[in-house]
Structure 1
Amino acid sequence: MLLAIDAGNTNVVFALVEGRAIKARWRIATDPRRTADEYAVWLSQLLHLAGYDRHVVTGVIVATVVPRALHNLQVLAEKYFGGPALIAGKPPVDWGMAIDVDEPASLGADRAVNTIAAHALYPGDLIVIDFGTATTFDLSDYRGAYKGGIIAPGINLSLDALVTAAAKLPRIAIEAPASTSVIGRNTVDQMHIGIYWGYIAMIEGLVARMKTEVGRPVTVIATGGLATLFEQHTTVFDHIEPDLTIQGLAMMWERAHM
């Protein structure tokens, strides 16, 4: 089986993949100081709880936007899983698509992998919205070329900034307001409205502007853990693919071994 690792700014996601079927997934807080041995102890226990031995892993592929975390993940693969990890974006797993932006090297690995997976799943022009530490909007055309996008603060980051900067505001859970009214009658309701409906307004507004610029039909795909939170109150998403990055890594592994 393949161990696909997506190292983001907030969490590192480990997924056990057979073919393109995700058999198990786990996440741990991102910490570049975490050693390969620490990863191995944690991961071995979780594999055991899921009914697997670590020897079922026959290959490792990594996508990371945290360069300092990469070394220990590479050591993990070599020391505990029998061989070097493939690194998304580096030979022999180059992106395999045109990156039509001013600074191609600055494109985050997760965003590139999402684009690859999205085009394998859906035809035409695509917008992929990934709800992570940042919320990213990525546009690719019908040929599969990456054309650019948007980076906005993630909803958790926005809430943290609000609570940190305003001494009297309480920390609240990120959830849909109980009412669809956008006129709050107390502080907590007003915060829920501002965070939740404000975020939906941003999503809908930016997608509308992107579609206008493209001038052709565009399919919108949402990914990331918070995508389902917004689905119930907006029609902007055509599809939700929670595991798009892991699916893309599995596809890249397959391509490297064809």
Structure 2
Amino acid sequence: MTMGLFEGSQLLAHWRVSTALERTADELGFLVSGLLRQRGLEEHSIDGVSISSVVPSVMYAVEQMSVTYLKQAPLIVGPGIRTGLGIKYDNPKEAGSDRIANAVAAIEAYGAPVVIVDFGTAMTFTVVNEHRQYVGGVIAPGIKISADALFRRASKLPHIDLQRPPSVIGRNTVTSMQSGLVYGFAGQVDGIIRRIQAELGRSVRVIATGGLADVVSPHSETIEQVDPFLTLNGLRIIWERNRGAR
């Protein structure tokens, strides 16, 4: 779970906490209250809350926390929310709210067309055409999912830190695994991006975001820039666009 604290368009603070499915609204409230107090703020000083979630089981607790502790009915990114983004998915309701937030922020910051690669639990590619329309993308297993599957299925392989090895050719088990994950995903990104560009018939800007973007992006030939706060900025922009309508 990633949280950001904005004043206007300025990101004052950001935090990453584990997504614990059993965590209650009160537990989340105590957590968020403590984080705000670290910044010298009280709960009542928050003017609004914007949420994007692809984990439905935690949404009730997050919504209740927002209402009870922050005194704000949260804006939940989903159907019916003003985004300024045209959605050309076969079923627009299936478009992930995190991908919508990424697309909105990328258009604002980098223009269109653009492709956003999000290195999250799943690795997603979000494609926005020159008309600022979300036309679809790609969903693939994320790096951590792939690494965890490798550890579970091959019992003799150790758990490793996800970092760049000293060379592509690993000299031991750990660096061999690191090479497979880092360079393997960099190659996957480049291969998919080139196919997307061929399908669109043009080159596009490629922006990376997500927790492991910094690990893979330096070894990709197609990623132009890493924007670690793209999703948070997208949530801020969407909240601003809906502020007067709520």
- What's the CA shift for 1:116? 1.0
The alignment covers a number of residue pairs equal to 244
Residues 116 and 248 of structure 1 are in contact (CA less than 8 Å); yes or no, is this contact kept in structure 2? yes
| Residue 107 of structure 2 corresponds to residue 119 of structure 1 | yes
- What's the CA shift for 1:184? 2.4
Match of residue 177 from structure 1:
165
**SS in structure 1 of the partner of residue 87 of structure 2:** coil
Match of residue 4 from structure 1:
none
- What's the CA shift for 1:133? 0.3
CA distance in 2, matches of 1:80, 1:188: 45
Amino acid in structure 2 at the alignment position of 1:200: A
Which protein has the bigger helix share?
Answer: 2
Amino acid in structure 1 at the alignment position of 2:100: A
Which of 198, 216, 223 matches 1:230?
Answer: 216
Residues 78 and 93 of structure 2 are in contact (CA less than 8 Å); yes or no, is this contact kept in structure 1? no
- What's the CA shift for 1:255? 0.8
Match of residue 129 from structure 1:
117
CA RMSD after TM alignment: 1.5
Which of 33, 36, 47 matches 1:58?
Answer: 47
**SS in structure 1 of the partner of residue 131 of structure 2:** coil
Which of 223, 244, 251 matches 2:230?
Answer: 244
- What's the CA shift for 1:151? 0.7
Which of 181, 187, 195 matches 2:173?
Answer: 187
Structure 1: unaligned runs, 5 residues or longer: 1-11
| Residue 63 of structure 2 corresponds to residue 77 of structure 1 | no
Amino acid in structure 2 at the alignment position of 1:143: H
Match of residue 4 from structure 2:
15
Structure 2: unaligned runs, 5 residues or longer: none
Residues 89 and 95 of structure 1 are in contact (CA less than 8 Å); yes or no, is this contact kept in structure 2? no
CA distance in 2, matches of 1:239, 1:189: 26
Residues 220 and 239 of structure 1 are in contact (CA less than 8 Å); yes or no, is this contact kept in structure 2? yes
Within-5 A mapping of 1:84-233 = 84-91=73-80, 93-179=81-167, 182-233=168-219
CA distance in 2, matches of 1:173, 1:244: 25
CA distance in 2, matches of 1:138, 1:90: 18
CA distance in 2, matches of 1:220, 1:135: 14
CA distance in 2, matches of 1:96, 1:226: 28
Moved over 4 A (4+): none
User: TM-score of the superposition, structure 2-length normalised?
Assistant: 0.94
Amino acid in structure 2 at the alignment position of 1:132: G
User: TM-score of the superposition, structure 1-length normalised?
Assistant: 0.90
1:229-249 Cα shifts (integer Å, max 9, x gaps) = 123323321222111111011
Match of residue 242 from structure 2:
256
CA distance in 2, matches of 1:124, 1:116: 10
**SS in structure 2 of the partner of residue 59 of structure 1:** coil
CA distance in 1, matches of 2:148, 2:182: 14
Paired-residue identity, %: 39
Amino acid in structure 2 at the alignment position of 1:50: R
